[in-house]
Chain A
């Protein structure tokens, strides 16, 4: 297996608070890596450090390296805007823009300079199809995205990310606001997407991590406690703290 990304001694600080302690974690190409752990364990911080979204929050400082295809994304020569085109992100709450479905998906390509209507139409079609949403919205492309259900909105957001053709997709608890059926659809989608993309997903739901991921990392108090194949983590973890957390004997 090939590492698409990798962190080396990654530490993140918010002002004086250290949120992550020297994390070394590989992210395998064309696989789903799940990050689990209790609230405040640093898993979301870790996720945001992978596309430098942490810089949007004031006062974060990063030590160590995050490699994307072997190159450190915190190198001063790297433009975070260009980086985020390659490493896309899906957030906890579905957050479509208050515009039409078409404009939502076309937003990324447009800001990256694609203007021709036929090109945009093609990208929108392809992205919506890849996000398993095309059939549900093809007759209402020019209606507001806010009229979609939560599950559809989340898939729209994924289509919007796919439209800029990223290589890695980061998902921050993408199903936490969805009902079970929408969640199942989203999980199916994640499963399909890993053929072409590398996916990192943060989730509170351990069963979900178990269902969708190939590799799992367990975080606790800002440290990576254990990383292994998902099967190993969920059947026979090596660390007692991992075992206690996933069997609910925590604290």
Chain B
């Protein structure tokens, strides 16, 4: 085994990505819970924690750039660092969406919901699962797992369509509903975007493992 220090640095980078992923999964989790339970403190915490995610993103980015410049990685190592750079961005965006959802939760406050929450928590759970599964696929270099995860985005998109129709109907029924319906629609939209970014994660993990560049987002929409 040669280039040991290089490979140690790669391992550290891998650890950072996992840490980043866990922070993001937590953010989705907490935002969803805050939404369901109308827990303002928890929502507050999600907004605060986003800072951590942003800092970690910068740190990972810096590590990737310096590894590229100083070690001139090739093949597997090159794909790994390229993947790290890309999913770093995707994870940060997912974190932002979770943060946005928490902000909306704070805005809605304690006012009663205009409809029972069924599909939205379901969507949120799906999204959380996608990110979590991709994180495992990343750790275990599991191409099949990543591919299977990407397929779940179909379901997320489908749910989004339904929520959209439902909220539209509510708005047309009663203009009193428009304010909250718009907020809920924004939450749905954010979750849908999280699904898309989670699909990007799958694509990059597949590239990292096998070198294939698949386009999973378009095909399944």
Contacts and interface: CB of A to CB of B under 8 A. Distances in A.
Given A248-B2, A248-B3, A236 B74 contact: no
With most chain B CB atoms within 10 A of its CB, the pick from A207, A235, A247 is A247
B1 A234 contact: no
Contacts of A249: 1-3, 7
A246 to B, nearest CB: 5
Given A235-B211, A236-B210, A247 B79 contact: no
A246 B2 contact: no
Interface in B65-96: 72-79
Interface in B1-57: 1-3, 6-7
Contacts of A248: 2-3, 6
A246 B73 CA distance: 9
Given A235-B211, A236-B211, A246 B72 contact: no
Contacts of B78: 234-235
Interface in A203-251: 206-207, 210, 233-237, 242-243, 246-251
Contacts of B73: 247
Contacts of A207: 72
B214 to A, nearest CB: 13
Interface residues of B, number: 16
Nearest to B211: A236
Given A235-B211, A236-B210, A236-B211, A247 B72 contact: no
Contact of B77 (A233, A242, A247, A250): A247
B74 A234 contact: yes
A207 B73 CA distance: 9
Given A235-B211, A236-B210, A249-B1, A243 B76 contact: yes
Contacts of B75: 233-237, 242-243, 246-247
A248 B4 CA distance: 9
A234 B74 CA distance: 6
A235 B77 CA distance: 9
A236 B79 contact: yes
Given A235-B79, A236-B79, A247 B74 contact: yes
A234 B82 CA distance: 13
11 contacts: A206-B74, A210-B74, A233-B75, A234-B74, A235-B211, A236-B210, A247-B3, A247-B74, A247-B76, A247-B77, A250-B2
Contacts of B3: 247-249
Given A249-B1, A249-B3, A250-B2, 9 more contacts: A206-B74, A207-B72, A235-B79, A235-B211, A236-B79, A236-B210, A247-B73, A247-B75, A251-B2
- Per CB-CB distance, the 9 closest pairs between chain A and chain B, nearest first, are A236-B211, A248-B3, A246-B74, A247-B77, A243-B75, A234-B74, A248-B2, A246-B75, A247-B75
Nearest to B77: A247
Nearest to A236: B211
B89 to A, nearest CB: 20
B71 to A, nearest CB: 9
B205 to A, nearest CB: 14
A236 to B, nearest CB: 3
